[in-house]
Amino acid sequence: MLANSFRQLSKAAASRALVSQSGVQCLAPFATAAQPSDPKTILAILYKAGSASEEKRLLGCVENELGLREWLESQGHKYIVTDSKEGKDSDLDKYLPEADIVITTPFHPGYINAERIAKAPKLKLALTAGIGSDHVDLPAAAEHGVTVAEITGSNVVSVAEHVVMMILTLVRNYMPAHKQIIAGDWNVAQIAKDAFDLEDKVVGTVGAGRIGQRVLQRLAGFDCKELLYTDYKQLPAALEKSLNCRYVKDVADLVKECDIVTINAPLHKGTEHLFNTEMIGNFKKGSYLVNTARGKICETQAVVDALESGQLRGYAGDVWYPQPAPKDHPWRSMKNHAMTPHYSGTTLDAQMRYAAGTKDVLDRFFNNKPLKKDDVIVEGGKMAAQYDAAAKDRNMEFESGWEKVKSAAKSAVGGNQGVTS
């Protein structure tokens, strides 16, 4: 039913779209629509889908506009949708000063840095259609009274499944085997010499929140030797028992024990480049690393060097920095990788969830209703309580992430926290 309503919404709205030469889609108001007393301008930064947009469940693209056009139009709001986000002449920079709300996604992020926030006097809400708001300068948002929210839980299943897929892709040496077939070759020995079972291996997750826990759940059926996790605080004993996992306080100690490490932690100043040459040097030689969290958690060249030396046997992920990844990004051509574009959290199922969640947040915002607590990252000039409390409790190597962000903000020139365009 939800899918049908979105299809009908998108189809009906498409005929009323006004498309400029730059590809920006603006809202053409209904002549009979009731106008709100305080109409808003909403700017959405999404990726272009081209012919793929014919799949109307592909809601997170410019063409299908999160399925929001008719609903926003019926309330008299102005809706601007574009993929242009880079450089001073981008549509993001052109329209942000008039925007009350900016919507972007982790898959085609519009980097809302301190400079851009300072030039957006009307901006009140920065909303992530998905999970992960590291593309927004959080201290600057707090300073300027901008609420930052995301659709918590909307794609955790999607990402967790992707993690397990990538673990198996690496351990079973799938990528070289597949490339053999494409090339018309057949050399079983060349593939089998680097192929293993997941059974009896030690797997560890850096981060055991909604995604990390679901990864551990999904690994239960593979009879791994042991499942480990590290996070800013230990899980309740009952949850540890149900997940059959063991807590390791320090990241460096965890990776020493693991055959496979998966990163399921947020990006902040405490985790940025956490996996550098020194940290990867703590790994078992010939182990695997999977990263579907954020590209900047891993130091780019450190990963390349570790694969070249054999310290890592393989690396897989779908997150890069910047995004989209440039054609000459070294992760595209490094050895023994299974990299993809950033799509783990944007399956069609996930898009239905985060599009519906985006509409819910907007509806609450328009009607001055409280946002769901779990969706809030910054509100009322400060971090949401759960993030502040977590930051104060952190005592791992990547601890005090949020506190580090806020502290660094005070000393940074212009308040820009490394979130750049």
Catalytic site residues? 155, 294, 323, 342
Round to whole Å and give the CA distance between 267 and 408: 15
- C-alpha closest to that of 95 among 110, 80, 105: 80
**Under DSSP, is residue 377 helix (H, G, I), strand (E, B) or coil?**
strand
Amino acid at residue number 125: L
**Which burial class, exposed, middle or buried, applies to 335 when counting CB atoms under 10 A from its CB (0-12, 13-18, 19+)?**
exposed
Round to whole Å and give the CA distance between 330 and 306: 13
Q: 359: number of CA atoms within 13 Å, CB side?
A: 20
Round to whole Å and give the CA distance between 163 and 105: 20
Count other C-beta atoms under 10 Å from residue 179's C-beta: 11
C-beta contacts of 381-390 below 8 A and 24+ residues apart? 381/142, 381/143, 381/145, 382/142, 383/138, 383/142, 390/232, 390/233
DSSP letters spanning 46-83 = -B--GGGGGSTT-TTBTTTGGG-HHHHHHTT-EEEEE-
According to DSSP, the residues that pair with 44 across neighbouring strands are: 81, 103
Instruction: Detail the DSSP E strand segments found in 124-244.
Output: 125-128, 147-150, 202-206, 226-230
Angle at which helices 385-393 and 401-411 pack, to 10 degrees?
100
Round to whole Å and give the CA distance between 352 and 20: 27
| Backbone phi and psi for residue 136, each to the nearest 5 degrees, phi listed first | -105, 135
Round to whole Å and give the CA distance between 316 and 154: 23
Region of 76 please: left (phi>0), alpha (psi -120 to 50) or beta: left
> Which contiguous run of DSSP H or E holds residue 103?
strand 101-104
Round to whole Å and give the CA distance between 55 and 6: 11
